[in-house]
């Protein structure tokens, strides 16, 4: 695991991206990991290492750098939740997408990269992964329990690469009516596969999280791995 610096497209400065490299000498596809509202935290770092162990390059940019660089908090206390929501509310998502595009371009050119790159995001990152599906040239995009997707439906016609959605049936941040709106808007899109995981809550795949559900997480991660292996190799 190493940190690199990338220049923001708007010229406002540099941000850090953490990189995990797979072992071996073969070239590999890259996955841009998109953070939750807790920053590039220990749970996301665990996911980055897992991707590297599976033979992918993983790279996670710090999207809160304009507010507070280096955020690494958890879901374990009220104070951390308060800080996380404040950071999310202060995030300019259009600028975050530009940072992700810079990261995507860098990922394609990292040493050992084969030029193919996908995105994979969780919660807030799940929303941004869908926005990358509509606004970038990523080779695939994976969204875990993305929030506020119902106000992106006007962009869905722009999706032109595989997009996988993992939806928690009991997501406290994405009620059934919102889920239905999103699924109805995507029903005819041949690029999209959406899966609903019964009985689980938001963040069911967060390692060590309060709502972690091993069975749902393993099933979702297996589907994600199959997609990434198909598209990036």
**Which is catalytic among the residues 62, 75, 166, 202?**
202
Q: Catalytic residue among 171, 184, 193, 213, which?
A: 171
Q: What is the DSSP string of the chain?
A: -EEEEEE-TTSS-EEEEEEE--SSSS-EEEEEEE-BTTBS-HHHHHHHHHHHHTT-EEEEE-TTTTT-TT-B--SSSHHHHHHHHHHHHT--HHHHHHHHHHHHHHHHTSTTEEEEEEEEEETHHHHHHHHHHHHS--SEEEEES-SSGGGGGGGGGG--S-EEEEEETT-TTS-HHHHHHHHHHHTT-TTEEEEEETT--TTTTSTT-TT--HHHHHHHHHHHHHHHHHHH-
- Give catalytic status of residue 202 as yes or no: yes
171 catalytic, yes or no? yes
Active-site positions read 171, 202
């Amino acid at each position: 695991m190493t940190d690199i610096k990338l220049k923001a497209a708007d010229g406002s400065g540099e941000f850090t991206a953490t990189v995990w490299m797979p072992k071996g000498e073969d070239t590999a596809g890259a996955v841009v990991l998109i953070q939750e509202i807790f920053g590039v935290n220990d749970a996301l770092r665990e996911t980055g290492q897992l991707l590297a162990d599976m033979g992918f390059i993983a790279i996670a940019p710090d999207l809160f750098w304009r507010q507070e660089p280096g955020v690494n908090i958890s879901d374990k206390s009220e104070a951390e939740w308060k800080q996380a929501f404040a950071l999310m509310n202060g995030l300019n998502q259009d600028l975050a997408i530009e940072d992700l595009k810079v990261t995507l371009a860098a990922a394609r050119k990292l040493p050992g990269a084969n030029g193919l790159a996908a995105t994979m995001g969780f919660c807030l990152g799940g929303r941004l992964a869908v926005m990358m599906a509509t606004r970038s040239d990523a080779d695939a995009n994976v969204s875990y329990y993305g929030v506020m997707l119902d106000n992106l439906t006007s962009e869905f016609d722009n999706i032109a690469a595989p997009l996988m959605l993992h939806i928690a049936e009991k997501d406290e941040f994405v009620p059934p009516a919102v889920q239905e709106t999103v699924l109805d808007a995507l029903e005819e899109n041949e690029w999209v596969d959406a899966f609903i995981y019964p009985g689980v809550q938001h963040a069911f795949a967060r390692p060590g999280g309060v709502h972690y559900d091993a069975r749902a997480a393993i099933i979702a991660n297996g589907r994600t791995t199959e997609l990434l292996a198909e598209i990036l190799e």
